[in-house]
Structure formats: structure tokens, C-alpha cells
Amino acid sequence: MPTMMNAPRFVIIIIFALLLQGCSWVTMGYNNFDVYLRYKIGSYASFTTSQQTIIRQEVADYMAWHRQHALPEYIAFLKDVELLTRQTQPPSSTDIARLRAQVNTLYITSILPAITPAANVLSTLDESQINQLEKKLAEENTELEQELLDHEIEKTLEKRAQRTIDFFEKFVGNLNTDQEEKIRAASLRLPFITEIFLNQRKASQVKLLNLLHNRATAETITEFLKNLILTPELARMPNEQVLIEQFKRESDELVAKSYVLLRANQKLTLQKNIASYIKDFQKLHKAILPKPTR
């Protein structure tokens, strides 16, 4: 569930960092997110003045598109989630799997418009800039490994379980000891796939950097990035793909069973949080819609 709910993820930044896990649009400040994006992109290389001008315009264009076209899709998704939480019967693992599939669709819909502009910028990087990008990605990989992995598998799984608990508490409030213990135990039983994603991330970065070093065209980079987003499973070994599919099924069951553990006031808190996101997204979307003529 935490992996699923990390979406929506961004755009041009995710192309530079490759599979960078994203941020909440609301908590980061949607209206100022373009500033954050330009800052984040700028941390990957020392861009020229002309490149900075292009990046600024592409970020502005993307945010305008996202506000008008993507936000309504997010709103529809959140309304679907809210409806499930208000039904007499609790959401099943099948319901959760459907929501996860919707999130993946939202992610792809959000990311595709940014791929070509990102590829256009990437194709203009000189060797010095490519080396800077390579160094920055390596630093981020090290930080991710330190955050997500441990020398002992038991400690790594404990970290994952705690992140799962923290995720639930973000939306429903504090869990009691019994709820925490049951969610923790269920999380510890999930297959371990973090290393698969980190290894795939690094392998994808190597392929991208090779394209850049070999002066690949923007069209070639675009095709590579689209394949990376649309068919990530092709970069995995068959046994890895089987393990990931098992993780998805079992994590869906974990979320469904965890929902049953929630007290009435926690479910109400969840519903209020979802409603708040819907309201915020609706305001952001309506702010740019043309006023009706009389």
C-alpha cells in the first residue's frame, strides 16, 4: 500500500532521477510546485542559460496541463476511494487491487506528457553535465540504500513494517498496540522486493547514461523512457516478476484486512482526510477554468 499510494509521482524530475519516489502534491504546495521542480532538476547538473529557460517553460507548461487535465482524474480516483470507505462491507483485496491498478494508470497518464520534453533536454547535455548527472544519481542511490536496506534482512523488514504503520497513521490517526502488532506481523510476512526495485533503478540509470554518453537522439531517449514507464516488467528476471506479483496480491490482502482493524473514529478520520484532498484538488482545478459567460 505505501508503494501504491506514493503516486501521483512527478514528471520531468522522475526522468532525470529514474524512478524517484514522489511527493504529495498537496503537502508540498501544489501552487508552488514548479519552483520545487526547477530547483530539483537544477540539482542534477549545471545547466546553461538556454537550457534553464527551456526547463522553466516546460515545467510551466506541464503544470498547466496537469492542473487542467490530470487533477480531474485524481479527483475521480479519490471519490472512488471515499465511496469504498463508506460502504457497509469493508473493501476487499479485489477492491484494493483495482485501486492500485487505477493509481498505476494515473501515474502513466501523468508521466507520459513529460517524457518528450525531458528527452529533448537530456539530449542537449554535454559530457561534463552527463558526469554531474551520473554522480548525483549515484549519491541518491546510496541514500536510498541506507534508508531502505540494512545489513541484516530482519532489520530491513522491520523498517518496511514501520513505514507501513506510519503510512496508515498518516491517514487514520494513531493506531493502538494491537493494531500495530497485527499490521507489523502481516508486513513482515510480505515478500522482500525492495532490492529488486533498487537494482532495476540502477540498471535503468546505466542504460540511460550510456545513451547520453553515446549522444543518442531525443527520439531514442524518448523511446527508452517510454518503455521504462510502460513496460517496467521487461527489465526484470522472470523470478523477480513472479515475486513482485506475489507482493502485490499479498499487500492488497494486508490493506483490506488492516482496514477491518480500524475503529469507527479512525475510519471517520480517513474519510475526512480523503474528502479534504478532494476539496483541495477541486479548488485547484476550478481556479484555472474559464468563467462561464452570461
pTM score, two decimals? 0.85
pLDDT at 41 over 70: yes
| pLDDT digit string, tens, across residues 6-15 | 333 333 333 3
pLDDT at 28 over 70: no
Provide mean pLDDT across the span 158-162.
Answer: 94
Listed in sequence order, the residues at least 6 apart from 29 whose beta carbon sits closer than 8 Å to its beta carbon are: 36
* Residue 273: band (very low, low, confident or very high) from pLDDT cuts 50, 70, 90: confident
Contact between 133 and 211 under an 8 Å Cβ cutoff? The reply is: no
Angle subtended at Cα 146 by Cα 134 and Cα 169, rounded to the nearest 5 degrees? 120
| pLDDT digit string, tens, across residues 60-76 | 999 899 889 988 998 99
Query: Which grid coordinates belong to 285?
Result: 482545478
Average pLDDT score over the chain: 86
Nearest to 20 by CA among 29, 11, 31: 11
